[in-house]
Structure 1
Amino acid sequence: FYKQEFEYEERLDMAHKLLASRAHHYPVRKCLGQRVYHPEGRGHYQYYSYADSVFMATQLVIGLKKLGYKKGDFMGVLAQNRVEWTLVDIACGALGVVLVPLYDTQSQQDCEHVLKLTGLKHCFIELSKLQKYGQLLTDNGVNLIIMDDDLQDRLLLSKLLKDLPSRTTSALKPHLWFEQFDEIYLNEQQPSYQVKQMAILHCKFDLQAGFYDYLPSFGADVEQKPTTIQIDELLLQNVKTFHQILELSFGDFEVQKYKKLVHGHPNPLRQKICYDLNIVKPSDFYTLIFTSGTTSTPKAVCLTHKNFIATAETMQRTCLLNGDYCKQDYMISYLPLAHIFMRVLQGIGFEQIAAQGYQSEGTKNLLDDIGACGPTALSLVPRVVEKIYDGIFQKIKGMNPVIKYLFTVFYALRHKKYEEQALKLQFQNGIREPQRQLLDQEFQKHYKQKIDFQAIKSQLKCQVHPKQIEFLEKYFETSSNVKLAYEQRFFRENTDLIFPKITNLVFDKFKQLTGGRVRGSVSGSAAIQQNQGVFYRICFNSQLFQGYGLSETAAGCTVQSYFSANYQGVGTTLSDNMKVYLRSTDSYQVDDKPFPKGEIIVVGDAVFSHYYQLGEPEESIQIKKQLKITDPTIGVYCTGDIGQFNYVTGELEIIDRMKNIIKLSQGEFVQLAQVELVLGKHPMICQSYVYAQSYMNCLIAVVQIKPQFVENSKAGYIKLLQQINGELQSFCKEKGLKGFQIPKYVILDFNEWTSDNGLLTPAMKVKRGGCLNKFGPVCDQIFELRQSGLLSHEKVWECLQAIKVLQE
């Protein structure tokens, strides 16, 4: 800790440097926010400024030093996204302490594996996780630090702990406070969310002492919210709180003098109070990210500061936000910060001086939080896009006939305009779009012939849906006729889809669901379905693009143009420092037509160096030798994903996975993930798991049915069982599966698959181990019934009684 003049090099190559720079130049912009308590739930978002955030991170650095932490040590964190999570991330990064996030949905077995591997001494944990994980952590020698920046948490802790702080140096500030010091807030569009009453909890400020009270005060009509958190008081022995760690710093500078100057005035001393920027180098380790454990024990991905910033910096250039520092951008932080994807998005937010609001009480109130925050940029995953898509259609079904009719007519009007404008808009504004001429040259170089779309069209007929062929034909024609507008400025005047104004009567209500300010959305994890991506853009009139990355590549690899209209692909490489290769496999060849296919191999400065205590993968070492890579900061990763390069769109597409391949008894190889992907496209199916063993001559599938199709009774189950098994044979054939790839029987599960019940990973992918444990024995029974000729729906129902497939 020291006071400094903030002389930065041009490249801000670490997250804590980036935040400090923004705090220096924009000290009173909104930074980290949360919803304050309100009698009927939660009120408006209030924020710490950028200066506040750096100051609190600095206090935390001092506190961690006094706990004995130094560069290279490990620190744990177990919580949903909240202010303290980010401050711990920044402070650890500045001090050189390697942050080890534990998923708040992680199984106890996986959690114990992480603790033994890293030898954690301390872990920041929120109260709601204490009952589930507290004993496990303390049994493994971990000291607990309870997060207590939320005012409700402080009130609860005041009844359970002694020696809590009586004062703090910072407090959340309302919008009116920021209006005093920055004119950008005066005419700012406010979120559509409305709070019925304005009485909230707040901490009093003592101007003479220079501190805020630790415990909040109640207004006349404010009652404390009842808590459902159950805590074993034995777990609270010898714990510390987040603010107790901050309190350790109070003697290191003149807080009272500092507060008297800063309170009510934005810029005398706080911007010059900052953690040391010179402890850490870009090549130092920043964090361990544990893989989700889909097929094996989670592995610890070692990421450096350079890996992280390589993705964050280049993704920001795709202009997820508006690129204009004269306006305040807003983001909602709800995708887990334990995953590197959300932390990269957080870094992009710092780059853009955005305000980041955290979800308040889990995903059940997410839509309400989004409305209150009013993000201008929204982060998504395909599962959320699908829920929005299904949710809107369910609401429309429940409306009166007039509204249904208007929605149908107005959607058709908007869809027609979308078809006329979307691709032109993409090519006129997408500076990352490869030129048609360049793609044609690359095609000719690879296949030794000129590109012929009609030949491509005939080759694709047995590979993709007819609608996708129709889309590619239009894409090829548009890209051949529209001149790309390469200019220095990314944004032009014509960047929005223009819909008939009369349609706003219906669709403005959808925009209000997200606070009314969303301009752009980005999705990761997997490709969005084309129809759902188009539906999202039409309903919200928001840009939507997607990318592809993994923990091992710091969430970076490829990303689409901000104006993309193609949701089959995942874009092109982020920068010149990132390269993607395709390597032939037994089933996919780089000489396949019409497009090259193979395993995706990523090379670049965002790629990790090794797994903790496991070293660098042998495949990566071999490929480095082949490519003659000698720079130790350049990583190589063989993803196990199968991709193809589409010469029509100029984008990488993910088409399969190498792993989870089974050899059936008749000698046929089946890629189970490919079958699951096809099953997942059925309109009634939410998740799917395909079971097979080497002694079996066929596949058995288990699918989770979408809630709207569930009839939760034996009669309803058997009726749906007959329907699904009748439909899927022809459905799978239409999707191009061969006979041996089509499951010969399908079990239905009416219960939701989650990470809590072990059927999904924290990344919301099917967890094969958990599914095997639950469904494997029943699948074996069904296979035996089929082999003996005794298979019937009634017999299957009897077998299923052991695993409770009806909703509980």
Structure 2
Amino acid sequence: MEFLFQLLFSPLPTPAVISLLALAAATLFYLNTRPTPLRAPADLKCQTLGIKDGARKVALLKDNNNLLAYYYNDAKTIYEVFQRGLKVSEHTEGFDAAAQLQRTVAEMVITQTASRWQQSKGDQPGPCNGPCLGYRKAGRPYQWLRYKQVSDRAEHLGSGLLQRGLKPTPDTFIGIFAQNRPEWIIGELACYTYSMVAVPLYDTLGPEALVFIIEQADISTVLCDNQKKVEILLQNREKGQTPALKTVVVMDPFESDLAVRGAKCGVDVLAMQDVEAAGKSDLQKPVPPKPEDLSIVCFTSGTTGNPKGAMLTHENVVADAAGVLKTFETSIVPNTEDVTISFLPLAHMFERVVQTVVYGAGARVGFFQGDIRLLPDDMKTLRPTIFPVVPRLLNRVYDKVQSGATTAFKKWLLNFAAQRKMAEVREGVVRNNSVWDKLIFRKVQESLGGRVRVMVTGAAPISPSVLDFLRALLGCQIFEAYGQTECTAGCTFTMPGDATSGHVGVPLPCNVVKLVDVEEMNYFSSNGEGEVCIKGTNVFKGYLKDPEKTAEALDTDGWLHTGDIGKWLPSGVLKIIDRKKNIFKLAQGEYIAPEKIENVYVRSAPVAQVFVHGDSLQAFLVAVVVPDPEVLPGFAKNLGFQGSVEELCKNKEIKKAVLSDMIGLGKEAGLKSFEQVKDVYLHPEQFTIENGLLTPTLKAKRAELKSFFHLQIDQLYAQ
């Protein structure tokens, strides 16, 4: 110490002293700026614990821990979750002051504008509390409804519905037939404020399924967003269908003759603002639900037959959200500064659970404009911090980045930067301020708003290579979830700090998972393989008025049978390897799971979508392939061909090249020879919800695809 003192305080600093000071300064700078690795909530080498009957639970739950039913003591129903958000949204201490000031100034402008607008309508703005629901028009900033405004409007709407003769009980079902928007949430919250049940109606359901749901749930009141949807409902009513339907409440302005048309067939068509005004003048005291009460009946779209109405309680939804929050606990704590963008359908439980997490934290939800093509502009304007996605969107981001590297040097540099960042991710370091971010990845990150810190992907499998690349590229935590409507949304979730891919994580703290034998497919639980079965506080109560299908899904011990085949990996995580449903035999007796094969082939760069077909009368498989319109021209150019997508799809040489690429990927993935397709048909138009070839959850409608392409399939086999 004396030596150091003399060095530092000698009258004439020597070069040695200067060097020492420089080294000390550099060391202090490094220690203060080095990225901090994430703290995993459990040992990543042993993420699950075995319990009785061969089931497993997440290692977060120690020996005596019960399955979670809620996260916050004061929020055990969805209604209470929102009320908690209202309270905590007023407190924003402890956050970045500059960001807070910037946000406050922006919101003052918005609030003053909203105030003038409301005063012109004779309505005063609610108390000053946290912003809740955001919306925008093209080219304009987001406007925000605050938590108290949303809560008050829900009470007004609910009171107005009660005036129409509805009863505040879990036996009262209210249909919501609208695209994502603030009024959707206000309508849902109105139901929960008075213990009623929300029944989402898909935008994209055909008229037959729409009629089935309204009749199955005995719905007398539907909240609609626009005149077009009202006309669909009235048209069904005029045909003598949906006799229980008595009231349609419309969010947007509508023509007066629509009410006249409704009256002729016994349906009152009312403006939502009028129902709210009536409820405000005769406000009813809230009748909050209990955790065990039904909250929502979510009709699963299904690939065949009529939809099935999954009955979910308040506890189911709150427990699933609690499981996610518990998993986040050590690395991500949602707070009032968080913002999520709502573009995935509100009619699906994935989006519902995400928003439950957001509202409980007093955070914000900004809605997209309603056109998926404008989503990039909405992202840049909203700048979300929480981004729920589906693999299809992430695949587009991946393909766009890869195709943007147009030279060999650019491709090398892109992949080198991704490898350097991925090395950090594997060490638990997740950041967006490295030299690679500033030089290579900033533009892509800014295209998503530049502030995303959490992404959750679900609803379908994602390629491990795509997930690895995007974890490096985007500089945020990306979690993969697995589940289905019948377990509310998710039942497994990847842990913070786990940078491995190719699996769906571990059971949420609200459920346990076991694998059961599937003898006909040679999967046995003794080998750590079998059908994935779930039990917990997030598992649904059954299908509405359908005991037969309920018995197929839920066994007598309360285990939900998913139909998916899983495998436990050495670290205790679950990998989905096959599908029990949608399997068929080839002529030689071999079982085929087409979805497993499709998940391999879709990784081919020129392939955007693929439908694998086979049946017991044929000895081999064929496929319909939709090429990626952004990748195909470059792919064809390398082969010496040019033209429109339609022209390229007819080119036999390009078809051979696409098939060859698919076969190569199949070999790498270990597909058996009988699992490889022998020929393909290139189709230039995407499978979409609108053309009836995808379900609203973006799953292939196999029966419809088979029917639509039967001529092409017959030709493939004939050749």
Q: Which residue of 2 aligns with 1:246?
A: 276
- Rounded to whole Å, the distance in 1 between the matches of 2:410 and 2:262 is 55
Q: Which residue of 2 aligns with 1:112?
A: 211
1:646 aligns with 2:589: no
Shift of the alpha carbon at 1:407?
A: 7.4
> Conserved in 2, the CA contact under 8 Å of 1:29 and 1:353?
no
Distance 1:704 1:162, change over 3 A: closer
Shift of the alpha carbon at 1:715?
A: 6.2
1:38-74 residue CA offsets vs partner (Å, 9 max, x unmatched): xxx2311111111111111111110111111121111
1:675-732 residue CA offsets vs partner (Å, 9 max, x unmatched): 2222222222222222223222222211211112164344652232233344444543
Q: 2:599 aligns with which of 634, 656, 677?
A: 677
Q: Which residue of 2 aligns with 1:73?
A: 172
Q: In the TM superposition, what are the counterparts of 1:76-475 in structure 2 within 5 Å? A: 76-127=175-226, 129-130=228-229, 133-139=232-238, 140-141=242-243, 142-143=245-246, 145-148=248-251, 153-154=252-253, 157=254, 160=256, 238-252=268-282, 276-278=286-288, 280-319=289-328, 327-397=336-406, 408-409=412-413, 412-419=416-423, 421-425=424-428
- Rounded to whole Å, the distance in 2 between the matches of 1:93 and 1:22 is 15
Q: 1:662 aligns with which of 572, 581, 584?
A: 584
> Conserved in 2, the CA contact under 8 Å of 1:125 and 1:144?
no
> Conserved in 1, the CA contact under 8 Å of 2:587 and 2:616?
yes
- Rounded to whole Å, the distance in 2 between the matches of 1:325 and 1:341 is 17
Q: In the TM superposition, what are the counterparts of 1:720-739 in structure 2 within 5 Å? A: 720-739=654-673
**Structure 1 residue matching 2:318: 3-state secondary structure:** helix
Which residue type is aligned with residue 83 of structure 1? P
Give structure 2 stretches of 5+ with no counterpart: 1-70, 91-127, 634-643
Which residue type is aligned with residue 600 of structure 1? V
1:552 aligns with 2:486: yes
Q: Could you say which structure has the greater relative contact order, defined with CA pairs below 8 angstroms and 6 or more residues apart?
A: 2
Shift of the alpha carbon at 1:131?
A: 7.1
**Structure 2 residue matching 1:21: 3-state secondary structure:** helix
**Structure 1 residue matching 2:626: 3-state secondary structure:** strand
- Rounded to whole Å, the distance in 1 between the matches of 2:490 and 2:593 is 26
Shift of the alpha carbon at 1:81?
A: 0.7
Which residue type is aligned with residue 423 of structure 1? R
Q: 1:608 aligns with which of 524, 540, 544?
A: 540
Q: 1:579 aligns with which of 486, 499, 512?
A: 512
- Rounded to whole Å, the distance in 2 between the matches of 1:716 and 1:619 is 42
Q: Which residue of 2 aligns with 1:520?
A: 454
Which residue type is aligned with residue 149 of structure 2? D
**Structure 1 residue matching 2:709: 3-state secondary structure:** helix
Which residue type is aligned with residue 612 of structure 2? V
Q: Which residue of 2 aligns with 1:505?
A: 439
Q: Which residue of 1 aligns with 2:135?
A: 35
Shift of the alpha carbon at 1:413?
A: 3.3
> Conserved in 2, the CA contact under 8 Å of 1:687 and 1:766?
no
1:567 aligns with 2:630: no
Which residue type is aligned with residue 556 of structure 1? G
Q: Which residue of 2 aligns with 1:260?
A: none
Which residue type is aligned with residue 617 of structure 1? T
Q: Which residue of 1 aligns with 2:473?
A: 539
- Rounded to whole Å, the distance in 2 between the matches of 1:14 and 1:518 is 28
**Structure 2 residue matching 1:723: 3-state secondary structure:** helix
> Conserved in 2, the CA contact under 8 Å of 1:325 and 1:352?
yes
> Conserved in 2, the CA contact under 8 Å of 1:545 and 1:564?
no
Q: 1:599 aligns with which of 531, 548, 565?
A: 531
Q: Which residue of 2 aligns with 1:170?
A: none
Shift of the alpha carbon at 1:36?
A: 3.6
- Rounded to whole Å, the distance in 2 between the matches of 1:320 and 1:422 is 19
Distance 1:58 1:275, change over 3 A: farther
Q: CA RMSD in A?
A: 3.0
> Conserved in 2, the CA contact under 8 Å of 1:331 and 1:355?
yes
Shift of the alpha carbon at 1:32?
A: 3.2
Aligned residue pair count: 592
Shift of the alpha carbon at 1:103?
A: 1.0
Shift of the alpha carbon at 1:337?
A: 0.7
- Rounded to whole Å, the distance in 1 between the matches of 2:448 and 2:381 is 8
**Structure 2 residue matching 1:744: 3-state secondary structure:** strand
> Conserved in 2, the CA contact under 8 Å of 1:558 and 1:572?
yes
Distance 1:713 1:612, change over 3 A: closer
Shift of the alpha carbon at 1:503?
A: 4.4
Give structure 1 stretches of 5+ with no counterpart: 1-7, 164-230, 254-273, 426-494, 625-634, 786-790, 792-808
Which residue type is aligned with residue 510 of structure 1? V
**Structure 2 residue matching 1:603: 3-state secondary structure:** strand
1:617 aligns with 2:550: yes
Shift of the alpha carbon at 1:241?
A: 1.6
Distance 1:322 1:106, change over 3 A: farther
Distance 1:560 1:728, change over 3 A: closer
Shift of the alpha carbon at 1:308?
A: 0.8
TM-score normalised to structure 2 length:
0.76
Shift of the alpha carbon at 1:557?
A: 0.7
**Structure 1 residue matching 2:470: 3-state secondary structure:** helix
Shift of the alpha carbon at 1:781?
A: 4.1
- Rounded to whole Å, the distance in 2 between the matches of 1:683 and 1:603 is 39
Q: Percent identity?
A: 28
- Rounded to whole Å, the distance in 1 between the matches of 2:267 and 2:197 is 26
